[in-house]
Amino acid sequence: MSVLVIDDQEGLRRSLCAYLEDMDYETLEAADGRLGLEVLDTHLPDVEAVIVDLNMPVMDGYAFLAHASKRAPDLPTIVLSGVGVVDDAIRAMRAGAWDFITKPLHDFNILQLTLDKVLERARLLRENRAYQQRLESMVRERTAEIERTRRQIIQRLSRAAEYKDNETGMHVIRVGEISALLGRALGLPEDRCDMLRQCAPLHDVGKIGIPDSILLKPGALDSGEWELMRRHCSFGCELLGPLERGEARASCTSHRVAQEDEGNPFLALARTLALLHHERWDGTGYPFGLPGPDVPLEARIVSLVDVYDALRSERPYKRPFSREECRDAIAAGSGTQFDPAVVRAFLDNLDAIEAIRERWVG
């Protein structure tokens, strides 16, 4: 490692280099700031510190400091100058100098102490930066691990409900992928679309609380059974709500309370989808009978996607609808069951939606 000495006084420059070499430093030298920058650019990885005068021809020390601080902001620089002292020292420090020594230099031990001090500071900065980088890397790895675990839990939780409903689990994946596609088509930010992709599979998680005798009944449900079936929306909201049962139930008695963040926007969206995916644009849906504009866009998207995928899928009580039959059924529901804007996005992207079905068939 080298120390770069920049001074227009050749005798002083040579004396400084000789002293530093006696201290086992390699040295580089330049007679003005411009030449100093050229030397710095050539030897930057090997330059450990710079000693620079302020008053020099061609390029003075202030200009050198300004350029050098941009090239190597962590490079220790010591100003050695006899001008103005206080004012120039302040100006030099503002320009990027780490320390200041006044001329004439009668005791070279001062240079050694100053150099040791700035090099120790540089070492501590490097160690601190390395520590911060290691810490950030550990946080990234831990965050990625938590994210992987969260995704797996979501997938398994959403599949648990679908297995009860005689499905392979592919339905929830398709609902997530198609919902994200429509969200993007409707102008949702990419991070919100990704969140929608992950949360949409949880829309029917409340079916875990529905007895199999109702959930798997091949015939029509009577009024009591239908009333219980409708409760899967609130069951899902409660399941994804606060851990305390009373709080979870209370938080699902209003669609506005269910959407509150409480520090976890992911769970807030998942609960909203579970609670509101059976609301209708014309206000005749359940559980609240909300008019369409009061229903969050993500829930309006999932409402349509859930119906589309159910129509396209085979069930014990029905055959799968064709692409054309599904298209016509969704179009017919525009303005009543579905948000017209979501229907338009669906029709405009039907080829891509069908491709998702083909990819996640099952």
Sequence spans of domains, the chain: 2-130, 165-359
DSSP letters for 31-57: SSHHHHHHHHHHHGGGEEEEEE-SS-S
Residue 242: both structure tokens together: 């606060």
**Residue whose C-alpha is closest to residue 262's, from 242, 246, 277, 276:** 242
For 12, the enclosing helix (H) or strand (E) is helix 10-22
**Residue whose C-alpha is closest to residue 252's, from 300, 206, 314, 208:** 206
Q: Which residues pair with 5 in a beta bridge?
A: 29, 51
What is the dihedral angle through the alpha carbons of 362, 156, 210, 357, rounded to the nearest 10 degrees? -30
Give the pLDDT score at 317: 65
Q: Are 202 and 273 in contact (CB under 8 A)?
A: yes
Mean pLDDT taken over the chain? 88
Residue 50: both structure tokens together: 């710079």
Selecting among 117, 207, 217, 318, the annotated active-site residue is 207
User: Architecture of 2-130 per CATH?
Assistant: 3-Layer(aba) Sandwich (3.40)
Q: Strand ranges (DSSP E) for the chain?
A: 2-6, 26-30, 47-52, 77-81, 99-102
Whole-angstrom distance, CA of residue 269 vs CA of residue 260? 9
Give the pLDDT score at 83: 61
338 burial level (CB within 10 Å; 0-12, 13-18, 19+): buried
Whole-angstrom distance, CA of residue 29 vs CA of residue 21? 12
Whole-angstrom distance, CA of residue 353 vs CA of residue 178? 6
Give the pLDDT score at 282: 96
Whole-angstrom distance, CA of residue 25 vs CA of residue 169? 69
**Residue whose C-alpha is closest to residue 308's, from 359, 257, 346, 266:** 346
Give the pLDDT score at 266: 84
Whole-angstrom distance, CA of residue 208 vs CA of residue 158? 9
Catalytic residue list contains 207: yes
- Residues of the chain with pLDDT below 70 are 83-85, 150, 155, 159, 161-169, 257-263, 316-317, 362
SS3 8: coil
Q: Which residues pair with 6 in a beta bridge?
A: 30, 52
- DSSP tally for the chain: helices H, then strands E: 17, 5
Q: What are the residues whose beta carbons fall under 8 Å from the beta carbon of 215, sequence distance 6 or more?
A: 164, 165, 207, 229
Residue 7: both structure tokens together: 């001074």
Fold of the domain spanning 165-359:
Hypothetical protein af1432 (1.10.3210)
Give the pLDDT score at 161: 66
Residue 23: both structure tokens together: 């201290």
**Residue appearing with tokens 């804007």:** 341
Maximum CA pair distance of the chain?
105
Give the pLDDT score at 259: 66
Give the pLDDT score at 283: 96
